[in-house]
Amino acid sequence: MYGITAYKKNGYDPFKEFRALQKAFFNEEGQNGIKTDIRDTGDSYVIDAELPGYSRDEINVEVNDDILTISAEKHSETNEEDKKEGYIRRERFYGSVSRSFNISEVDAAAITAKHENGVLTLNLPKRKEELPKSHKIEIN
């Protein structure tokens, strides 16, 4: 059982230096949040967000001003069935993750989403550059 439990005795963490080095190279959100790939397809951006273990109903995508937020939350209750199934301990009963993106260059009304095999794919069409309907041309 020793090999599968967290080890921390008297505040001593043998991996303290390693964790500090990891924080220096990787930001906290990327390590603990939703892993994403972002592609530019020319006329739109595509975000592939890994959400393993979350169903479509547990995922929420919102746009507020120019900020897109992907969040997912999982709830599970322990009951007598768990003991019958042989569980000694259950740690994966609750979890939530969230990630936000600036989408100021995106047409927010035209965003589409698809969830398949634990990957949420968002298609974010770019805003069309609006040309003025009329403008004055100066003569040199």
Predicted confidence pLDDT, tens digits, the chain (140 residues): 333 434 444 566 777 777 777 666 555 444 457 899 999 999 999 999 999 888 899 999 999 988 999 999 887 665 655 566 777 666 666 778 889 999 988 999 999 999 999 999 999 999 887 777 777 778 87
Domain definitions of the chain by residue range: 28-125
Instruction: Supply 56's token pair.
Output: 């479509």
Q: Is the pTM of this model over 0.85?
A: no
Asked if residue 70 lies in contact with residue 120, where contact means CB atoms within 8 angstroms, the answer is: yes
> How far lies 24's CA from each of 13, 33, 38, in Å?
18, 17, 23
Q: Which residue has the tokens 């790939």?
A: 37
Instruction: Supply 90's token pair.
Output: 């259950």
CATH level 3 topology of 28-125: Immunoglobulin-like (2.60.40)
Asked if residue 59 lies in contact with residue 51, where contact means CB atoms within 8 angstroms, the answer is: yes
Asked if residue 123 lies in contact with residue 116, where contact means CB atoms within 8 angstroms, the answer is: no
